[in-house]
Amino acid sequence: MNKQRKNAGGRGIEWTDWTWNPTAGCMHGCTWKMPDGSIAECYAKKIAEGLARAAYPQGFEHHYWREHTLQEPLKEKTPSKIFVGSMADLFGHWTPAEQIRQVLDVMRQAHWHTFQTLSKYPIRLPEFNPFPSNVWVGVSLPAGHLMSETGGARALKSYLKQMTKIEAGIRFMSVEPLWFDASRVFQEWLETNESLPF
Ligand code: SF4
């Protein structure tokens, strides 16, 4: 696991204490259109093909199973927030279900920690219901640089629907960058549903 440095000047992720990557690599191929019109790629791909190149001999768009890291959360005794898959999508369509179940088992055993997951493939999440009570299950809206505002709104609607099928104590959503008016979609949702599914 990697400790996240959050002090001034630290380059860690602010909302977690550790990152843990029992699986690594990702095939979603996310890209973003930047305000100046340039196209940005995901940070994980940059790291995997730059500084951490030795750990990704087959490139970033490949599935790596790091079984030797499975016990790491059990060795950390201080209750911590642990982001699972900062260099992967654990629930990506390419990850064998048996590997996901092994990771979830470790989360269940390490009950003193809070695990945070984030997936761009929410259609698969209900397969692992119910999630351990110490896991926050997050979905992240895809933001391909060619996706229109209408496409974004449509994807958000379908993600909200998908989230209602996930059995987890805490569900959360990431929409980043926010390139369309999501509030209208939330408003519409609340007209026919009692609350948002997170
Ligand atoms: S899902 Fe995450 S890790 Fe995968 S390509 Fe997109 S931003 Fe990168």
pLDDT digits (tens, 9 = 90+) for 11-32: 788 899 999 999 999 999 988 8
The distance of Cα 75 from the centroid of its chain, to the nearest Å, equals 23
| DSSP label at residue 25 | B
pLDDT digits (tens, 9 = 90+) for 73-93: 999 999 999 999 999 999 999
Q: What is the pLDDT of residue 6?
A: 73
pLDDT digits (tens, 9 = 90+) for 91-146: 999 999 999 999 999 999 999 999 999 999 999 999 999 999 999 999 998 776 67
pLDDT digits (tens, 9 = 90+) for 34-50: 778 888 888 899 999 99
Q: What is the pLDDT of residue 172?
A: 96
Domain residue limits, the chain: 2-192
Q: What is the pLDDT of residue 41?
A: 84
Q: State the distance from the centre of ligand 1 to the C-alpha of 191, rounded, in angstroms.
A: 32
Nearest to 150 by CA among 122, 179, 174, 121: 179
**Which atom of ligand 1 is found nearest the CA of 85?**
3
Residue 62 Cβ < 6 Å to ligand 1: no
Residues sharing a CB contact under 8 Å with residue 70, sequence separation 6 or more, in sequence order: 22, 102, 103, 106
Its pTM stands at 0.92
**Which atom of ligand 1 is found nearest the CA of 45?**
8
Percent of the chain at pLDDT exceeding 70 = 97
Q: State the distance from the centre of ligand 1 to the C-alpha of 62, rounded, in angstroms.
A: 12
Residue 42 Cβ < 6 Å to ligand 1: yes
Q: What is the pLDDT of residue 184?
A: 93
- Give Cα separations from 45 to 31, 42, 95, 100, 115 (angstroms): 11, 6, 18, 21, 23
Q: Is the pLDDT of residue 10 over 70?
A: no
Q: What is the pLDDT of residue 59?
A: 96
Beta strands in 4-145 (DSSP E): 18-20, 23-24, 31-33, 39-41, 64-65, 81-84, 114-119, 135-140
